[in-house]
């Protein structure tokens, strides 16, 4: 009975570990993959680096607020093209996301945020509306509930900055499509002002039944060639004005997938396994065969450890290498499959665009 209970406990532990891996995949690795894709896409369009724009010995220049109607950029975009980059200092100095054309699954899961194709472009009179996940995939709008009146929301296109201030929010059901209309307050009337709308899921950590709608009003525009908006600068320790975001890709985001790590761990395991087998063979199994110790009780992980060659420390290390490799393989292949094919996980994974 104790043997059966022990094996059952190991099975429960394994199931719990797999569930934990799914959470890690959903909450962290999907964000790493999204960051990788966004960084590469920013590099591909060759936009200028804001931290060096109009720089001088005193640091970056603060872009002058321009008068008059702002220019519209871009005039149009194909699905997946970068429309703008968005900065919200309330979410942290390093918070930055791409906004691409379209709110399809690929755009939201891989490219940061998506621009509603029927809404206006930056600079146009009307409503620039974008969607982003609240949870997973880098959770671009995970902290949307922390915004305070007057907070800056800044869009950057290739040549221009568009600065908005946060005004209000509301929570609606998905059928309230008027929230992204040119004039959300009265969809039947023409738009008379420039505004911004961000939509995301609500609640945050369960099946999204509603949408959290964030509104901002246009404040001013500026030229990228003139520098950086005041809202995106701070004075560094050296007394120079600096851009708050250094646009550096994280270490893990440099990886296109977990396959290189999985491959490296397998190579290390095989080399260590062969070396241990040649040096020590299987001392515990040899001792059992010679009658020096009694046969151990059945155990999943204990049995796996006994199958490894070498002394105890080497066998434990080999098992750990195997377990970590399997864990990464689950995150690489099993978790995405589960999120796509298991209905309850599909609903809870934010795998569907917010305007479904």
User: For the domain that residue 73 is a member of, what is the CATH number?
Assistant: 2.40.260.10
Number of separate domains in the chain:
2
3-state SS assignment for residue 74:
coil
The confidence score (pLDDT) of residue 354 equals: 35
Q: Which residues constitute the domain of residue 296?
A: 254-348
Let me know if residue 301 belongs to a domain: yes
Let me know if residue 89 belongs to a domain: yes
Let me know if residue 122 belongs to a domain: yes
Residues 214 and 93 in one domain: yes
The residue with greater pLDDT, 45 or 353, is: 45
Residues 344 and 230 in one domain: no
Give the strand pairing for 113-115 and 97-101. Answer: parallel
The confidence score (pLDDT) of residue 290 equals: 57
pLDDT in tens, 139-181: 999 999 999 999 999 999 999 999 999 999 999 999 999 999 9
Q: Over 70: is that where the pLDDT of 56 sits? A: no
Find the range with the poorest average confidence among 178-182, 210-214, 276-280: 276-280
Q: Over 50: is that where the pLDDT of 205 sits? A: yes
Residues 89 and 220 in one domain: yes
The confidence score (pLDDT) of residue 341 equals: 86
Sign of torsion, CA 143 145 150 155? positive
3-state SS assignment for residue 217:
strand
Residues 231 and 159 in one domain: yes
Let me know if residue 4 belongs to a domain: no
The confidence score (pLDDT) of residue 46 equals: 85
Q: How confident is the model at residue 291 (pLDDT cuts 50, 70, 90)?
A: low
Q: Over 80: is that where the pLDDT of 285 sits? A: no
Distance, in Å, from the CA atom of 196 to the CA atom of 216, rounded to the nearest integer, reads 5
The segment with the largest mean pLDDT, out of 27-31, 128-132, 298-302, 349-353, is 128-132
Q: Which of 138, 156, 159 is nearest to 91 (CA)?
A: 138
Q: Over 70: is that where the pLDDT of 54 sits? A: no
H or E stretch at 198: strand 194-202
Q: Which residue, 252, 277, 311, sits at the end of a domain?
A: 252
Q: Which residue, 206, 223, 252, sits at the end of a domain?
A: 252
Residues 199 and 132 in one domain: yes
Q: Over 50: is that where the pLDDT of 31 sits? A: yes
Q: Which residue, 236, 252, 268, sits at the end of a domain?
A: 252
Residues 137 and 41 in one domain: yes
Residues 236 and 148 in one domain: yes
What is the rounded average pLDDT of the residues 22-29?
A: 94
């Amino acid at each position: 009975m104790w043997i059966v209970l022990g094996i059952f406990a190991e099975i429960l532990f394994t199931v719990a570990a797999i569930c934990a891996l799914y959470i890690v995949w959903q909450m962290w690795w999907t964000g790493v993959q999204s960051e990788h894709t966004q960084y590469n896409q920013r590099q591909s369009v060759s936009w200028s680096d804001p931290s060096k724009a109009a720089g001088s010995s005193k640091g970056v220049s603060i872009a002058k607020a321009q008068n008059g109607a702002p220019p519209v950029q871009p005039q149009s975009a194909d699905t997946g093209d970068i429309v703008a980059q968005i900065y919200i200092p309330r979410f942290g100095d390093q918070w930055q996301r791409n906004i691409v054309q379209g709110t399809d699954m690929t755009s939201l899961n891989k490219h940061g945020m998506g621009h509603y194709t029927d809404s206006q472009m930056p600079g146009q009179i009307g409503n620039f509306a974008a969607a982003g996940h609240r949870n997973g995939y880098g959770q671009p709008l995970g902290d949307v509930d922390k915004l305070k009146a007057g907070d800056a929301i800044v869009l950057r296109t290739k040549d221009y900055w568009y600065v908005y201030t946060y005004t209000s929010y509301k929570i609606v059901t998905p059928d309230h499509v008027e929230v992204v209309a040119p004039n959300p307050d009265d969809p039947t009337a023409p738009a008379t002002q420039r505004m911004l709308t961000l939509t995301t899921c609500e609640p945050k950590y369960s099946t999204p039944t509603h949408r959290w709608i964030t509104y901002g009003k246009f404040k001013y525009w500026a030229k990228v060639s003139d520098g950086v908006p005041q809202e995106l600068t701070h004075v560094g320790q050296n007394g120079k004005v600096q851009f708050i975001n250094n646009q550096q890709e994280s270490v893990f985001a440099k990886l296109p997938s977990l396959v290189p790590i999985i491959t490296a761990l397998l190579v290390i395991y095989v080399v260590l396994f062969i070396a241990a087998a040649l040096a020590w063979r299987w001392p515990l199994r040899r001792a059992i065969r010679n009658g020096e110790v009694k046969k151990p009780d059945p155990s999943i992980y204990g049995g796996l450890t006994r199958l490894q060659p070498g002394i105890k420390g080497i066998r434990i290390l080999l098992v750990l290498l195997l377990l970590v490799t399997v864990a990464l393989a689950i995150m690489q292949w099993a978790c995405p499959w589960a999120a796509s094919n298991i209905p309850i996980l599909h609903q809870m994974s934010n795998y569907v665009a917010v305007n479904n």
